[in-house]
Structure 1
Amino acid sequence: MNDEDIIRVYPVIDDEPEKIYEKLESRVFVFEELSENKLVPPGVGDMVLYEELDLLRQNVIALARKYGFGDINHNVGNSLKLKFDKELGSLIYEKMKITPSVAATLPMWQFLNLQLLPDVVFWRWGNSKEHFYSERRNYLGTQWWRYYLFSDSEESLKIYSKLNDAEIAELYERSGSRGLPEHIFEISKWFAQLSRNILIKNEREMFRSVIKRYNAELGFRNYFSLDENDKFSIFKNCFDDTAGLK
């Protein structure tokens, strides 16, 4: 097996994230060089080398600079921020070489946000604590998972590229996917398809309502016994009911 084929694990934090955040805040979120002999390994797996961490940081910094990172006179608009988020997700997904089980390790993402790339997280979100260490919104972990959930095919990635941040938030945080295969992708694909030719007054509220109703319907069924046509039929009924098309 080549080194490139080895599934990596990453360091974790060895302290309360709140305490690390306070120290970070006191130095205005300036990055401090990592000390190789102070990296805390997780319980199992092949931990990345110090040089790999340094390269990951360099790659992320190079991408961020294209969007104005480090330039105090450059104001990044919301559309560019979303574009950066998506490119960042793609970058770390490709470079980190981790599995979903490894990606479920919150202390690893806390290490990346609080110690490896705190200046980038601060540039993107300011001193928002939840984007540094919370379970649901820590920045790097969120972008990895968002990309991963749409990475199965070119079709799903094409749909992902067109979603705005509000739609992604609804899917990622409130879809109740529970890891079900194709679930998030199908919701986004079918909603786009069905809403194409009708006028929706409040699309975000409609999107949220359809997701809620669809997941409630799935709660009465065995998801894995349904083929795509079955699921689409259920989804369409939920969409039509919500839109008042029945």
Structure 2
Amino acid sequence: MKRNLNWPRLDLSSAENLMLELSDTSGPAPSFDLSKMAFTGVGDRVQQRDIEDVRNAIVELAEKRGFVLRHGFQQDPPASQDDLLQFDSDVFQVFHDLTPMTWSEAGSKEIWSWFSLVLLPDVTHWRWRFGSGSKSKGYRGIDWTPERWIGQDLTRHSWARHWWRTVQFKNDPRLAEGLREGEFNQITERSASIGTNPDLIVILTEELKSAFDEYRGDVPARDLIRDVAARFTREMSYLDDTLFDDSVLRAWSRRLINDSIAAYDPDSGAREFEG
């Protein structure tokens, strides 16, 4: 196992200034320079070879899905949505191991701003420039969602979300395969409820996938996930899920899935989902 490292931090003011450089075909240049970066005072600092390894690994994954390094921010033709989603899946498999750090370190918003705006700005641009399908004219333009670049919401940030999803799915990482971004978001971005309990995330995902197989075509997957997640959020306001064992979490998940299916299609009650 790799030792945990301290990673560079990019303060909010500097991050916002770099965001202003974004346009459809340009952005801040990638940099390996650590001399002006801030670090925490305790632990081993990341070295240039470490960040080079991270960038090279991510660029290699992106190139397999249509990114052309020499084109920088001027990628043409655009990547397909399927390629971008597969890139997300590829990154999810390796990113946590590429970037060893403590939970405390990974909770720093400034670290993730550095990843997206200093180490990987061209890849981040490629991921969202074509994924959004918009014609943004810059940070103050139409669609450069700040949360994807600046570490404001770590469940939505381009790179932080992969790191923390690995933690959330640590009990069974294979379950994350096949979930689309919007489906991921409904489960893992509810950081004040479902997203804090890896056991619940795994069990709920297992039960949802079973429900998808049984009701395929009857209930849209994203609608079902959204409704189930909302029901969990309401009930978790007065229930402590950390006191429940796996059998209770599974029964709870099935009940709320059945409630959601019945609300979407009242005729489905005759064939209640049993997992």
Q: TM-score range by the shorter chain?
A: 0.7 to 0.9
- TM-score under structure 2 normalisation? 0.78
Equivalent residue, structure 1, for 2:4: 7
Distance change >3 Å, CA 102–CA 79, structure 1 → 2? same
Distance change >3 Å, CA 15–CA 202, structure 1 → 2? closer
Q: Which has the higher helix share?
A: 1
Equivalent residue, structure 1, for 2:62: 64
The 10-residue stretch of structure 1 (110-119 or 46-55) with the greater mean CA deviation from structure 2: 46-55
Look up the equivalent residue of 2:29 and give its one-letter code: F
Matched, 1:194 2:211: yes
Distance change >3 Å, CA 14–CA 27, structure 1 → 2? farther
Equivalent residue, structure 2, for 1:204: 222
> Residues 96-135 of structure 1 correspond to what in structure 2 (within 5 A)?
96-126=99-129, 128-130=144-146, 131-135=148-152
Moved over 3 A (4+): 23-27, 71-75
Same amino acid, percent of matched pairs: 21
Equivalent residue, structure 1, for 2:245: 227
Q: Which runs of 5+ in 2 are unaligned?
A: 130-137, 139-143, 263-268
Equivalent residue, structure 1, for 2:161: 142
Asked whether the 8 Å contact 1:86–1:147 carries over to 2, the reply is: no
Distance change >3 Å, CA 47–CA 211, structure 1 → 2? same
Matched, 1:95 2:98: yes
User: CA-to-partner distance for each residue in 1:128-157, whole Å, 9 max, x for gaps?
Assistant: 2421114222211122222332233xxx22
Q: Which runs of 5+ in 1 are unaligned?
A: none
> What is the alpha-carbon root mean square deviation over aligned residues?
2.4
User: CA-to-partner distance for each residue in 1:7-42, whole Å, 9 max, x for gaps?
Assistant: 111000145121122245599115243333212212
How many residues were matched structurally? 240
1:91 shift after superposition: 2.2
Equivalent residue, structure 2, for 1:177: 194
| Partner SS state of residue 52, structure 1 | helix
Equivalent residue, structure 1, for 2:86: 83
Structure 1 Cα separation of the partners of residues 10 and 164 of structure 2: 20
Equivalent residue, structure 2, for 1:164: 180
